[in-house]
Structure 1
């Protein structure tokens, strides 16, 4: 998937025009679209042109009670 911005971790710069590659349900590669390795060139792409991707962000909000 690609987006206008990609935020990887605190203290690291925001990547403009970022991409995330998912393989078998896991993050396989993260970086600028222009640096995407050739091996991923034929993978399907989901574009989020005005979005921000936060790979690895875990949603910890839950209601565990019944």
Structure 2
């Protein structure tokens, strides 16, 4: 994550420990780690959430396609 945060400075990354915040993650449909939910002006605009682990390349591809 630190590498992604450095490369994508226009984004604010917030880490949530799924084990400590299981109710929140369930309500958001967070199934795998890491998962990414993008908000703009308080509204969800995109997400990259599934049960599989994600590679750095997959996350970069996701972030690069967000408007």
- Tell me the TM-score normalized by structure 2: 0.34
- Structure holding more strand per residue: 1
More RCO (CA 8 Å, sep 6+): 1
Higher Cα radius of gyration:
1
- Tell me the TM-score normalized by structure 1: 0.34
- Structure holding more helix per residue: 2
